[in-house]
Amino acid sequence: MGRMDATAETVLHQARAAILADLTARDAAEADIVSLVEEALSRRRWWLEQWPDGAAYIPGLLAQDVQDALMETHGRWPLCPRCDEPHALAVEPELGPDPHWVCERGAAVIAPVGALGAPGRGDS
């Protein structure tokens, strides 16, 4: 394809900001982790160039990409704030708009992607 339009770039920047907000909320925004975000963002930019209609899926996909990269290098992230036994939150829907961090064990929505640090969200 070629250059992306401004709307696609906005989607990518908003998804990046959401993931960085969640990393910051969980004290995980170190330089090497931010580099993982940038690598994942680069791959998703290419993906979005191939499938422009997939823009609504970018925030959830980027969250999952970063989560997968962190699993390989730093361990599970983000950890569920509600359960005693440590486990990572999941992103739902896996491929859809309006992604949320959820505790699959307790069937509870913790926070929208990008809002782990919002008051009353994901910090309990």
Compute the distance between CA of residue 78 and CA of residue 67 in angstroms, rounded to an integer: 8
CA angle 74, 91, 13 (to 5 degrees): 80
Q: What is the pLDDT of residue 7?
A: 86
3-state DSSP helix/strand/coil percent for the chain, to nearest 5? 50, 10, 40
Phi and psi for 83 in degrees, rounded to 5? -90, 145
pLDDT averaged over consecutive 10-residue blocks of the chain (124 residues)? 73 96 94 96 94 93 96 93 94 93 94 86 46
Q: What is the pLDDT of residue 123?
A: 45
Number of domains in the chain: 1
The reply to whether 21 falls in a domain is yes
Q: What is the pLDDT of residue 1?
A: 43
The reply to whether 119 falls in a domain is no
The reply to whether 120 falls in a domain is no
Q: What is the pLDDT of residue 46?
A: 93
The reply to whether 29 falls in a domain is yes
Q: What is the pLDDT of residue 4?
A: 65
Residue 74's domain comprises 6-112
**E strand intervals along the chain:** 90-92, 100-103, 108-112
The reply to whether 14 falls in a domain is yes
The model carries a pTM of 0.89
Q: Which residues contact 7 (CB under 8 A, 6 or more apart)?
A: 55
